[in-house]
Structure 1
Amino acid sequence: MKTNIPFHPDRAVQAFYLFFIIHTSQIGAGLMGVPRILVLEAGVDAWISVLIAGLYLHLVVFIMLQILKSYENADILGIQQDLFGVWIGKTLGTVYVLYIFLLLLTVIKNYIEVVQVFVFPEMPIWLMALFLLSLMVYSILGGFRVVVGTSVIFFFLTIWLVFTIYKPITYMDWEHFLPVFRTPAPDLLKGVQQVTFSVLGLEILFFVYPFIQDKKRAALPAHAGVFFTTFLILLVTVVSIGYFSPDQLKAIVWATLSLFKIISFSVLERFDFIAVALWMMVIIPNIVLFGWMIVHSLKRLFNAPKKPTLYGLAFLLFFTSITAEKRVALNELTNWTGEIGFWIVFVYPFLIYMMILLKKLMKKRNAS
C-alpha cells in the first residue's frame, strides 16, 4: 500500500463539499437523544458542555488538517503505515475498519428501534435493515461522487426540520436554566465527552481529503461543517431544557424527536410520525459515508475488490442487525462504540501529529 493516493480529477470534488460531508457524517442517530444524555451528566448547564465541545471539535479539525497537509495526497491509512511501518500500520488500519463497522451498525440499530417505538411497533427488523442497506449498496456502487451527492441532497431535503422547532420554543420556561453555572467542572467535562460520543464521524476527513481538488481551501468548509453541527446540538439542547422539566428530560430517551409531538397542522395531526420517517434521510448519509469508508479502507489495506467487499459488508451488517434485538444489547453496543470512538477520533490525532513533528525533527538533525 502506497502512502500517497494517486489523484484523479474525474473522481475528486471541490473543497466546499467538505461542509456537507463532515456535517452529515456527524448528525444522525446521536442527535435524537443527546439532550437527555447531556442533562444526566451536566444538568441544566449542559449547554455549556456543548460550547466547550464545539471548541474542542474545531481544535481536532485543525490538528487533522495539519496532519494531512504534511503529506502530498495521503489518507490516515497511508500516514499510519509511513509512521509505524507496514504491519503496525495495517493493524491500526484494521482497528479503524472495525470501529467504523461498529459505528455503522449502531446507527442502523438505533434508527430501527426509533421506527419501532414511534411508528411501527410490529415492523420486523430485517425488513428495515434490508431497505437501508439496499440504499447503501446502490449509492456506493455509483462511486465517490455519488456518495458525496447523497450527503448534499439529503442535507437540503431535511434541513427545513430545524425551523419546525419554533413551536416548542414558544413554550420554553427560561427559569429551567437558573441558577447558571451551578454544575461542577468535572460534570461539565463529562457532558463534553457525551457530546463527542454523539458527533462521531469527524474522522471521515482523514479518508476523503485525498479526493479534494483545491486542498488549500479545505479548512473553511471543514470548520463550517463542525460549527453547524455544534449549532444544531446547542439548539436542540437549549430547547429541550427549556421545554421539558429536568425530571421529564431525564426520562425521555429521544428528546429531540419528542419535541415534534406538539407540532401539528390543519391537514396533519401527528407531525412526529412524519419527523421519524424523514429522519431516515438524516441517517442515510451516515450509512453511505461509513460504508464507503469501510470499502475504501479494505481496498487500500488488503487490495480487496470493491463489489464483493461491498456485498459482504451489507450481508454482515444485515446479519448482525437482526441478531441483537434487546434494548440492553443496543445500549451496550452504543456505549462501547462511543468509548472506542472517543479515543480514536478525539485523542489519537494528537498522537499522530506529535509523531509527525518528531519525525520532521529527526530528519532535520540527520540533515545537519
Structure 2
Amino acid sequence: MKTNISLDPGKSVQAFYLFFIIHTSQIGAGVMGVPRILVLEAGSDAWISVLIAGVYLHITVFLMLSILRAYDNSDILGIQGDLFGKWIGKILGLMYVLYIFLLVLTVMKNYIEVVQVFIFPEMPIWLMSLFLLSLMVYSIIGGFRVVVGTAFIFFFLTIWLALTIYKPMTYMDWEHFLPVMHHSSPMDLFMGAKQVAYSVLGLEILLFVYPFIEDKKKISLPAHAGVLFTTFLILLVTVVSIGYFSPDQLKATVWATLSLFKIISFSIVERFDFIAVALWMMVIIPNLVLFGWMIVHSMKRLFNTPKKPTLYALAFLLFIASITIEKRVGVNQLTSITSEVGFWIVFVYPWFIYIIVMVKKKWLKRGIS
C-alpha cells in the first residue's frame, strides 16, 4: 500500500464541498434522540455540554489537519502504514473498517425503528433495509464525485426542516433552564459532552477524503464551518427540547427531536411528523453513502479488492446484520457499542497519531541537519 495517493483531476473536488461532506456525515440518526441522552447526564445544563463538545470538535479538526498536512497527499490508512509498518498499518486500517461498518448498521437500524414506530409498525425490516442499501449501492457505484454530490444535494433538500422548529420555540418555558449549573456538576457536563459523541461521529471522514481535495490550502475554513454548523443544529434542538418538554417528559421521550414536529401542522398536512420522518431518510442517505464509500475505499487501499464486488459484499453483510437485530434492546446495545468505540477512534486516537507524527517530523529534521 502506497503512503501517498495519486489521483486523476476528474476524481477530486474543491475544498468548498468539504463543508457538506463533514456536516452530512455527522447529522443523521444521532440527532433524533440526543436531547434526551444529554439531559439524562447533565440535566437542564445539557446545552453547556453541547458547547464543550463543539469546542473539542474544532480541536479534533485541527489535530486531523495537522496530521494530514505532514504528508504530501495521504489518508489515515497510508499514514498508519508509514508510522507502524505494513502489517500493523493494515490491522489498524481494518479496525477502522469494522468501526465504520458498525456505524452504518447503527444508522440504518435506528432509522428503520423510527419508521416502524412513527409510520408503519408492520413494515418488515428486510424491505426497508433493502431499499436503503439499494440507494447506497447506486450512489457509490457512481464514484467519489457522485458520493459528494449526494451529500451536497440532500443537504439543501433537508436543511429547511430546521426552520420548522420555530413553532415549538413559541411554547418554550425558559424557567426550565434555571438556575444554571444547579442540577449538574462539572463532571456531569463533561459526561454529557461525551454523550454528544455518537451524534457527531462521521468527522473521521476528513482523514479519508483529504487526498481527494484539490485546493488543500483552503481546507481549514470549510472543515471548521462544517463542525460549527453541526454544533449549532445540535445546540438548537437541545435548547428547544429542554424549553418545550418538562424534565420528566424529556427523559421519557426517546426521539425528542422528531417529537417536536408533532405540534406542527398546516392546512393541507395535519400530521407533519409523518412527513418529517419520511424526509429524514434524505438526512441519513448521505451517512450511508459516505460511510459505505469509506469502507470500499479502505478495502481497496488495504487489500486491493475490486470496487464492485466489495460494495456488493458490504451491502449483503449489512442486510444480513440488519435483519438479525430486531428488538429495541439489540439496537440500544449496538448504538452504545458504536458510540463508545467511535469516541476512542475519532476523539482520542488522533492525539496518539498527532504526537507520533510530530515526533517523527522533528526527528527527521534533526537527522537532515
TM-score band, normalised by shorter chain: over 0.9
Matched residue, 2:297 = 296
Structure 1: gaps of 5 or more residues? none
Q: Does structure 2 conserve the Cα–Cα contact (< 8 Å) formed by 1:104 and 1:291? A: yes
Q: Distance in 1 between matches of 2:198 and 2:187?
A: 17
Asked if 1:216 corresponds to 2:231, the answer is no
Asked if 1:158 corresponds to 2:158, the answer is yes
Matched residue, 2:335 = 334
Q: Distance in 1 between matches of 2:201 and 2:313?
A: 24
Distance apart, 1:31 and its partner CA = 0.4
Asked if 1:138 corresponds to 2:145, the answer is no
Distance apart, 1:354 and its partner CA = 0.3
In the TM superposition, structure 1's runs of 4+ consecutive aligned residues that sit over 3 Å from their partners are none
Structure 2: gaps of 5 or more residues? none
Distance apart, 1:7 and its partner CA = 2.5
Q: Distance in 2 between matches of 1:361 and 1:26?
A: 34
Q: Distance in 1 between matches of 2:137 and 2:190?
A: 39
Matched residue, 1:101 = 101
Q: 1:221-278 CA distances to partner (integer Å, 9 max, x unpaired)?
A: 0000000000000000000000000000000000000000000001110000000000
Q: 1:128-175 CA distances to partner (integer Å, 9 max, x unpaired)?
A: 000000000000000000000000000000000001000000000000
Q: Distance in 2 between matches of 1:366 and 1:212?
A: 31
Matched residue, 2:324 = 323
AA aligned opposite 1:99: Y
Question: What TM-score do you get using the length of structure 1 for normalisation?
Answer: 0.99
Matched residue, 1:312 = 313
Asked if 1:29 corresponds to 2:29, the answer is yes
Q: Distance in 1 between matches of 2:224 and 2:106?
A: 26
Alignment of 1:234-273 (within 5 A): 234-273=235-274
Matched residue, 1:187 = 188
Q: Distance in 2 between matches of 1:125 and 1:217?
A: 43
Distance apart, 1:8 and its partner CA = 1.7
Matched residue, 2:234 = 233
SS at match of 1:213: coil
SS at match of 2:180: coil
Q: Does structure 2 conserve the Cα–Cα contact (< 8 Å) formed by 1:7 and 1:73? A: no
Q: Distance in 2 between matches of 1:208 and 1:109?
A: 26
Q: 1:173-223 CA distances to partner (integer Å, 9 max, x unpaired)?
A: 000000011210010000000012211000000000100000000000000
Q: Distance in 1 between matches of 2:244 and 2:116?
A: 25
Matched residue, 1:82 = 82
AA aligned opposite 1:171: Y
Matched residue, 1:128 = 128
Identity of aligned residues (%): 79
AA aligned opposite 2:52: I
SS at match of 2:280: helix
AA aligned opposite 2:215: D
How many residue pairs end up in the alignment?
368
Question: What TM-score do you get using the length of structure 2 for normalisation?
Answer: 0.99
RMSD: 0.6
Distance apart, 1:367 and its partner CA = 2.8
AA aligned opposite 2:225: A
Matched residue, 2:284 = 283
Distance apart, 1:366 and its partner CA = 2.5
Q: Does structure 2 conserve the Cα–Cα contact (< 8 Å) formed by 1:14 and 1:214? A: yes
SS at match of 1:264: coil
Alignment of 1:37-116 (within 5 A): 37-116=37-116
Q: Distance in 1 between matches of 2:166 and 2:365?
A: 58
AA aligned opposite 1:165: I
AA aligned opposite 1:301: L
- Comparing 230-239 with 189-198, which one deviates more in the overlay? 189-198
